[in-house]
């Protein structure tokens, strides 16, 4: 076998995983780096937070995938990226240095708190399974504490959930909280009246699910209403201090906890040793040409949410969606395999969807607009087939079927386990 060029993929999300699957390992020596040892499935993180699914249902260990590869197999490296030294073609992680011939940056996005970074300590987020588990624990603990609280005012304060952001994540988590209020409280928490729980959703624009059709937005508002979620449109949160949320028009209300889904930014990557001045664009994304090649660095590619290029059709860049990441991953793998970068990347929009709750979902699939039960079945089907691994598919199907027939989520357990510091080996 001739000497193979070494491709290092940073991040095993939708984009990185696609490249890992599609790249020709006979031609390239492939290495994938991720801070987690598994590929997570972000569209269902909110279901981990709402106790509907277990982390393992939507997390697929990289090594299990690599173990099935035919020789030559790709290698996995656990680590957080500290620096990319483009001059020496080396990635530095918190655990080692890895040289590369080609580098794919596919690290995705993280939470964006805009001007107020102090929010990081105060709010709950949903950008990783770890964050989802943290939110799950807090929701369960609040219900348990409220059940022991005899003062109605205090109970209501504890149980005020404010969701900031009306995109899919915000709508989905607010809907799941609505189902907790509507179906689960009365059966499992007789100490708490459903009226004690308040769920508010605050969206800055004039409608929910702004990336979808007007019809989908209207349906989502209606469905959230039926789950007793108070939706506020056209306002943004100005501050969250001492349990009080203040909006831009001065409206203030109590908030037990705030779930922040209102913004993302590219995961910051410290790229040194390059000559180009300005490689970071909107939202911290890495600017590429329309072939996902980082400007000024011929053998470095930015794919998925972390990269951006603009063209006539998308003057703001492509939307940060799983579909874009998967298609860009496939495109870059193919270009690398063929050594041919002559055609630009073209995005094919397959539609989008969001679920609000049981029998409640909206889907815009090309011309088709689905809602209600039909939307919900489409949503479940698409997510089931997109999940990696047959065991995960079966386990998710089991949990969903169970929840459907019992009007319940089976997994409401409070785990404190990994609070123990992983002090010996971590870092």
What residues make contact with a second copy under the rule CB under 8 A?
Answer: 36-38, 54-56, 59, 61, 63-64, 66-67, 73, 75-79, 95-96, 129-134, 137-138, 140-142, 144-145, 147-148, 158, 187-191, 257, 389, 391, 394-395, 398-399, 402, 408, 410-422, 424-426
- Taking the complex as a whole, the smallest distance from the CB of residue 368 to a second copy amounts, in Å, to 34
Rounded to a whole number of angstroms, the minimum distance from the CB of residue 288 to a second copy is 30
Q: What is the CA radius of gyration of the chain?
A: 22
Residue 56 and residue 370 in contact, taking contact as beta carbons nearer than 8 Å: no
Q: Which residue number, 93 or 232, has a Cβ lying nearer to a second copy?
A: 93
Q: How far is the CB of 215 from a second copy (least distance, A)?
A: 36
Cα four-point dihedral sign 351, 354, 355, 360: negative
CB 56 within 8 A of CB 395: yes
- C-beta of 180: minimal distance to a second copy in Å? 12
Instruction: Provide the minimum distance between the beta carbon of 366 and a second copy in the complex, in angstroms, as a whole number.
Output: 35
- Closer residue to a second copy, CB minimum distance, 374 or 380: 380
CB of 110: closest distance to a second copy in angstroms? Answer: 15
Q: Which is nearer to a second copy, 71 or 278 (CB)?
A: 71
Nearer to a second copy, 29 or 138 (CB): 138
Tokens of 323: 């579909």
C-beta of 206 vs 420, nearer to a second copy: 420
SS3 state at 283: helix
CB of 12 to a second copy, least distance (A): 12
Of 57 and 223, CB closest to a second copy: 57
* Contact call for residues 177 and 50 (beta carbons, < 8 A): yes
Closest distance of CB 147 from a second copy, Å: 8
Residue 103 burial (CB count, 10 A): 24
List CB contacts of 251: < 8 A, sequence separation 6 or more: 235
Query: Any idea what DSSP says for residue 212?
Result: S
Could you tell me the smallest distance in angstroms from the CB atom of residue 240 to a second copy? 13
Taking the least distance from each CB to a second copy, the nearer of 58 and 231 is 58
The CB-of-342 to a second copy minimum distance in angstroms stands at: 36
How far apart, in whole angstroms, are the C-alpha atoms of residue 106 and residue 219? 34
* Residues 227, 266 contacting (CB under 8 angstroms): no
φ/ψ of 22, rounded to 5, equals -90, -15
Residue labelled with tokens 């992680």: 93
Quick one: 340 or 426, whose CB is closer to a second copy? Answer: 426
State the CB neighbour count (10 A cutoff) for residue 425: 5
Please identify, using beta-carbon distances, which residue of 60 and 309 lies nearer to a second copy: 60
112-119, long-range: CB within 8 Å, 24+ apart, which pairs?
Answer: 112/262, 112/263, 112/264, 112/265, 112/283, 113/260, 113/263, 114/263, 116/239, 119/240, 119/258, 119/260
**Looking at beta carbons only, is 133 or 233 nearer to a second copy?**
133
Whole-angstrom Cα distance, residue 349 to residue 228?
33
Cis peptide before 312 (omega within 30 of 0): no
| DSSP character string of 111-151 | E--TT-TTHHHHSB--SSHHHHHHHHHHHHHHHHHHHH---
> Locate tokens 């998710």: which residue?
396
Q: What is the DSSP letter of 304?
A: G
C-alpha to C-alpha distances, 131 to 124, 126, 329, nearest whole angstrom: 7, 5, 26
């Amino acid at each position: 076998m001739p000497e193979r060029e070494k491709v290092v993929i940073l991040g095993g999300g939708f984009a990185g995983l696609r490249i890992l699957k599609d790249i020709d390992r006979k031609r390239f020596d492939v290495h994938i780096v991720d801070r987690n040892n598994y590929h997570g499935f972000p569209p269902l993180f909110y279901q981990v937070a709402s106790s509907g699914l277990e982390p393992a249902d939507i997390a697929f260990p990289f090594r299990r995938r690599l173990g099935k590869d035919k020789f030559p197999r790709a290698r996995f490296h656990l680590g957080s990226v500290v620096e990319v030294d483009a001059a020496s073609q080396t990635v530095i992680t918190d655990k080692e240095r890895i040289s590369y011939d080609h580098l794919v940056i596919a690290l995705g996005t993280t939470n964006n708190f805009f001007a107020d970074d102090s929010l990081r300590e105060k709010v709950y987020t949903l950008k990783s399974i770890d964050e989802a588990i943290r939110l799950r624990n807090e929701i369960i603990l609040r219900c348990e504490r409220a059940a022991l609280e005899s003062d109605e005012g205090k109970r209501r304060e504890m149980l005020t959930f404010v969701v900031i952001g009306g995109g899919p994540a915000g709508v989905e988590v607010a809907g799941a909280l609505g189902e907790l209020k509507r179906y689960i409280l009365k059966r499992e928490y007789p100490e708490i009246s459903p009226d004690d729980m308040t769920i508010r959703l605050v969206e800055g624009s004039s409608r929910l699910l702004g990336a979808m059709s007007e019809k989908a937005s209207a349906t989502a508002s209606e469905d959230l209403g039926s789950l007793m979620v108070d939706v506020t449109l056209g306002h943004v949160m100005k501050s969250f201090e001492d349990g009080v949320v203040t909006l831009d028009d001065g409206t203030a209300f109590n908030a037990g906890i705030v779930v922040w889904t209102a913004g993302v930014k590219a995961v910051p990557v410290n790229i040194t040793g390059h000559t180009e001045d300005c490689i970071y664009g909107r939202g911290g994304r890495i600017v590429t040409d329309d072939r996902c090649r980082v400007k000024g660095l011929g053998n470095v590619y930015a794919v998925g949410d972390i990269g951006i290029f603009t063209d006539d059709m998308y003057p703001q860049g492509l939307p940060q969606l799983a579909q874009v990441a998967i298609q860009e991953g496939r495109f870059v793998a193919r270009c690398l395999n063929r050594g041919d970068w002559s055609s630009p990347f073209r995005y094919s929009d397959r539609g989008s969807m969001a679920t609000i709750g049981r029998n409640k979902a909206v889907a815009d699939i090309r011309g088709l607009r689905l809602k209600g039960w039909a939307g919900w079945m489409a949503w479940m089907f698409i997510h089931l087939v997109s999940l990696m691994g047959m065991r995960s598919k079966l386990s998710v199907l089991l949990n969903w079927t169970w929840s459907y027939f019992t009007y319940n989520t089976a997994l409401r357990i409070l785990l404190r386990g990994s609070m123990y510091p992983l002090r010996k080996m971590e870092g």
